[in-house]
Amino acid sequence: MFILQSYSLAVIFLFITMLCWGSWANTQKLAGRKWRFELFYWDYVIGVLLLSLIFAFTLGSIGNVGRSFLEDLAQADFSNLLSAMIGGAVFNAANILLVAAIAIAGMSVAFPVGIGLALVLGVIVNYIATPLGNPVILFLGVFLVLLAIVLDAFAYKRIPNQAAGVTTKGLVLSALAGILMGFFYRFVARSMSLNFVNLEPGKLSPYTAVVFFSIGLLISNFVFNTLIMKKPFVGEPVSFSDYFKGKFRVHLYGILGGIIWCIGMSFSIIASGQAGFAISYGLGQGATMVAAFWGVFIWKEFKEAAPGTNLMLALMFIFFIAGLGLIIWARVA
């Protein structure tokens, strides 16, 4: 199977993870405002599973290092397969709750509470499990990225009519999303061998882990997304018949969104062999700033914001870049 041989290459893979995780949601915008997220999400999940299988039978099955996907699957302990699937289910619940929190409380509440909490919890949990890197430098970098996320939230709040009122329901959903998002990666990491060259018996390769993460995502979607379709947090209920009324192009946007996200997830897991799980997760969650970049420069979301917002956005990107630099440096310091 394909593995990375250097930390510098792992950092490149993690930057691609940030780009993918921060960009996939653009496909929802392209699908159109009339195409409900609950319907878009089915195609997104299909895209995640499709890409995970493509990688498993290509990158995960070539070369003389490690085990091929089918060989790895044949020797895997069920407990490790289940752990990766639980990771997919936990992520699914977190992702749906985060979208609901954005709809109810707005970006300015959901992102600092949800993604900020996920970033801190995820790095702490994964660092305790596999302590790679200088903890002082690592957590200082996390703190700077967290400041950048808070500035991003305040900037969104300065856009007229961007954020709804801060309600208890919105705060609770944001916090729940953040807690779940902070733990999903650990379930996947726990299923995997720490050594990608000499894989531990019963443990999973990174490619097998992502496939079963995707299966967990798909199975749980029949529970979580079906419930949200029937009793949405915002808007009228939608049915499965509505899904089949969508145009072919609209479905392709959703599948593309899932493929883009799963490229990021796969590259994050592959890079963890050199970077460690804490750094891989921490850099990946910097995707919030990539999404902000799209909002600022492509979608022009801040063009009607109050005076002084541009300075806030500039500081946001400065803190973000500095934080990323420290997280990268933590592995070699």
Is residue 36 domain-resident? yes
Q: Is the dihedral of CA 204, 209, 211, 213 positive or negative?
A: positive
In a domain, 205, yes or no: yes
Cα dist. 263→143, 269, 271, 328 in Å? 26, 10, 12, 20
Of 2-16, 24-38, 130-144, the one with minimum mean pLDDT is 24-38
Give the mean model confidence (pLDDT) for residues 125-144: 95
Q: How far apart are CA 25 and CA 80, in angstroms?
A: 30
Task: Report how many domains make up the chain.
Answer: 1
CA distances 91 to 20, 33, 120, 184, Å, are 16, 24, 16, 5
Question: Is the separation of the CB atoms in 167 and 42 below 8 Å?
Answer: no
Q: Cα 315–319–324 angle (5° rounding)? A: 150
Answer yes or no: is pLDDT of 40 > 90: yes
pTM of the model: 0.92
SS3 sequence of 251-305: HHHHHHHHHHHHHHHHHHHHHHHHHCHHHHHHHHCCHHHHHHHHHHHHCCCCCCC
User: What is the structure's pLDDT at 3?
Assistant: 96
Q: Tens of pLDDT along 206-240? A: 999 999 999 999 999 999 999 999 999 888 999 99
Within 10 angstroms of residue 222's Cβ, the number of other Cβ atoms is 11
Confidence of residue 167 (pLDDT cuts 50, 70, 90): low
Residue % of the chain over a pLDDT of 70: 97
Section 306-318 average pLDDT: 93
pLDDT one-digit tens code per residue, 229-287: 999 988 899 999 999 999 999 999 999 999 999 999 999 999 999 999 999 999 998 88
pLDDT tens digit string along 15-33?
999 999 989 989 988 998 8
N- to C-terminal Cα separation, the chain: 29
Given the structure tokens 């599973």, which residue do they identify? 49
Sign, CA torsion 84/86/92/94 = negative
Give the pLDDT score at 78: 98
pLDDT at 165 over 80: no
Tell me how far apart the alpha carbons of residues 264 and 8 are, in angstroms, rounded to a whole number: 17
Q: Is residue 290 part of a domain?
A: yes
Residue 106 confidence (pLDDT) above 80: no
Residue 166: predicted pLDDT:
54
Structure tokens at 97: 């709750």
Q: Is residue 13 in a domain?
A: yes
Where b means 16+ CB within 10 Å and e means fewer, 153-186 reads bebbbbbeebbeeeeeebbebbbbbbbbbbbbbb
Alpha carbon 43 to chain centroid distance? 17
The model's confidence at residue 168, banded by pLDDT at 50, 70 and 90, is confident
**DSSP bridge pairs for 192:** 204
Predicted pLDDT at 29: 85
pLDDT at 114: 86
Residue 176 lies in a domain: yes
Whether 25 and 91 have beta carbons less than 8 Å apart is answered as: no
Residue among 182, 191, 181, 183 nearest 213 (CA): 191
CB 313 within 8 A of CB 148: no
Instruction: Tell whether the torsion through CA atoms of 282, 286, 288 and 291 is positive or negative.
Output: negative
Containing domain of residue 189, as a range?
7-330
Indicate if the pLDDT at residue 290 is higher than 80: yes
- 34 occurs within a structural domain: yes
> What is the pLDDT at residue 265?
97
Flag whether 2 is in a domain: no
% of the chain residues with pLDDT over 90: 74
Contact between residue 268 and residue 284 where contact means Cβ atoms under 8 Å apart: yes
- The CA-atom distances, in angstroms, between 108 and each of 104, 227, 289 are 11, 26, 14
Q: How confident is the model at residue 79 (pLDDT cuts 50, 70, 90)?
A: very high
**Domain for residue 1, yes or no?**
no
Which residue in the block uniquely carries the two structure tokens 């956005």?
Answer: 313
